[in-house]
Structure 1
Amino acid sequence: MSDPLLFEALYQGRRHVGFGLPEHGAPQTLYPVADGRLAQAFIDTDGSATALKAALADDATALTVAADDPELRLLPPLLPTATGKALLSGFMGTHKKKWGGQSAPEGEFTPPKWFFKGFGEWIRLPGESLTVPADPVALIEEPEVVLVYVNDAEGMPHYAGYTFGNDLCDIGLHRKDPGYNPYCKLCDTAVAPWLFLGEPPTSVNGRVTIERDGATAWEGNFDCGGDALYFRVRDMVRHLFSFPAVRRPHLVNYVLLGADEASFHQGFSIADGDRIRIDVKSHGVAFDNAVRYVTPAPLD
């Protein structure tokens, strides 16, 4: 059984929080929350479902809507309304497969490579298109665990929970020259809106399906839980938050933990218009996004 979860959503122009995974067409109870109220609740409480419900679930203001109500719009978990108040970043080369199946020795820590993906408002939700620069060298989908942290007024990070994402990137550009990795990461990233309330998961598995013209073009399994990683999650996170830049007061951090091998490693090429479905079978959630090539107007 997976950890309890919550989500945030806009309904009729107002921000709400809900508990439990919404089911298609089923009634869903929502509780109004001001922008930043949920983040503050993680700072003020122990972050458990019981404590969060006590702090946020006011039955007097609750309303019930259908999960597929067209006015209900899910949000990335804890994403502030103000721009520039959240960062999306991650680690590279974290899986044991890339380290001969071994785990890092106890008591030793060499930090994995890290990348900055973008601001929080750059996150794309399930169903939205993932845009990439036209004519990429070779795209790769990357199903990953996403840890979510919120900093308090002094900049101390508070762990909120985890969700899942697709860190789409141009691995071909990276392989052409690792120094091009910052360019490689300038592709949209999808993040699921469901925040699981528990420690970073040790076991996460699922299946990727890539559709082209309505038919399955490629599919394969993935594993991105902590047990599949060479590095220990606590070591990676501790090192990242040793940098003051990510400990600014009231900042929300989305941290990608790295991906398993994917379609690229089996010789598949993602094309414009392909739809990538990430089915996290271990946690009962799935999301999909179409890939769109975009050519901006040239500079004068």
Structure 2
Amino acid sequence: MNTFFEFTYRNQHYISFSHSRNGELLAYHYVPGELQKLLLRSNYNFSLFKQLVIESTPEQGFSATTSKERVLLPPLLLPEKSGVIVSGFGLTNKKKVLSSGNTANPTPAWFYKGPGHVLKTDGEPFNIEHGVTAICEEAEIVLIYMIDTQGKPHYIGFTVGNDITDIGAIKASPTAFSYAKLKECSVSERIFLHPPPFVLTGTCNVFRNHQVAFSSTFETGIDQLYYKQEQLIDMLFRSPALRQTGLMHYIFLGADQNSFDQGHSLIDGDTISLRFNELDLSLSNRLVLQGA
């Protein structure tokens, strides 16, 4: 599978294609921002991109003893995080749309989560501001797009993420939807340079005081969408403001359910652990509620 991930080690940036030799992880040093340039040079062809990376710098091996010093990074995150747009679509899941009993909107609501500063990855805490009503997690597929020099969006690949929302505010007032989405969120460090999966299953576990306080399963994927993926993306990128050269987009596609839907309340200090079965990936983040 065409995939890679990035990390820092002693303040240096590295990319790995998951290859190993004699128990060492093989990786390649890069300067932040360089990967986006290599994607452009390769015309978004993974094989050529990989070749350019390998030719650009000597291969380095990292032993297992270095793992605690390696810091995972969101995939392709620009060094200038203000050049990143993190957003998503709400109420896209077939189950939610069909069970609401209401006439479905022609397109679901789009929301903005923030610039690249809101993106966390595995092991990092969610810092949530004072005044939230009730927080929930949502396990989702995240599409990654890059805007080229002609202002054209290019799909790079997908990862998975956890879309944190003040669901309590939305339940109290639907007009709070956009504000409730302005929260930190997380994505896996691994990007897959393929179309997103039709079906992706997993489990959500909430740990409280080192014990499981809540557990459930989830199902996501393109087949779970009420709307066509192409329809969502075409509508979004009609706006020239979102097609400025060099912008990176991380787009959350929607979830089927969350812990709040099932009667569970998250509190300060909870750790939300998502497991995406088919990708063999996990994503874990601790909830830090300011003023709690």
TM-score over 0.5 for the pair: yes
Does residue 55 of the first structure (1) align with residue 46 of the second (2)?
A: no
Quick one: percent identity of the two aligned structures? 31
Judge which range, 219-228 or 39-48, deviates more: 39-48
Instruction: Give the structure 2 partner of residue 138 of structure 1.
Output: 134
Structure 2: distance between partners of 1:14 and 1:226: 36
1:149-176: per-residue Cα shift (whole Å, max 9, x none)? 1111222111110001101111110111
Letter matched to residue 32 of structure 1: H
For residues 1-300 of structure 1, the aligned pairs below 5 Å read: 3-20=1-18, 26-45=23-42, 47-58=44-55, 61-66=58-63, 68-100=66-98, 110-134=106-130, 136-295=132-291
**Structure 1, unaligned runs of 5 or more:** 103-108
Letter matched to residue 83 of structure 1: K
Shift of 1:69: 2.8
Shift of 1:38: 1.6
Aligned partner of residue 108 in structure 2, secondary structure? coil
Moved over 6 A (4+): none
CA contact (8 A) 1:211 1:218 kept: yes
CA contact (8 A) 2:29 2:57 kept: no
Is the alpha carbon distance of 1:121 and 1:165 closer, same or farther for their aligned partners in structure 2, counting shifts above 3 Å? same
CA contact (8 A) 2:88 2:252 kept: yes
Shift of 1:42: 2.6
Shift of 1:93: 0.3
Structure 2: distance between partners of 1:219 and 1:48: 40
CA contact (8 A) 1:48 1:197 kept: no
TM-score, normalization by structure 1: 0.89
TM-score, normalization by structure 2: 0.91
Letter matched to residue 92 of structure 1: G
CA contact (8 A) 2:122 2:283 kept: yes
Is the alpha carbon distance of 1:60 and 1:252 closer, same or farther for their aligned partners in structure 2, counting shifts above 3 Å? closer
Aligned partner of residue 63 in structure 1, secondary structure? strand
CA contact (8 A) 2:2 2:46 kept: yes
Structure 2: distance between partners of 1:181 and 1:82: 28
CA contact (8 A) 1:95 1:230 kept: yes
Shift of 1:101: 7.2
Is the alpha carbon distance of 1:21 and 1:271 closer, same or farther for their aligned partners in structure 2, counting shifts above 3 Å? farther
Aligned partner of residue 8 in structure 2, secondary structure? strand
CA contact (8 A) 2:30 2:57 kept: no
Letter matched to residue 40 of structure 2: I
Shift of 1:47: 3.4
Aligned partner of residue 82 in structure 2, secondary structure? coil
Structure 2: distance between partners of 1:284 and 1:48: 25
Structure 1: distance between partners of 2:43 and 2:243: 20
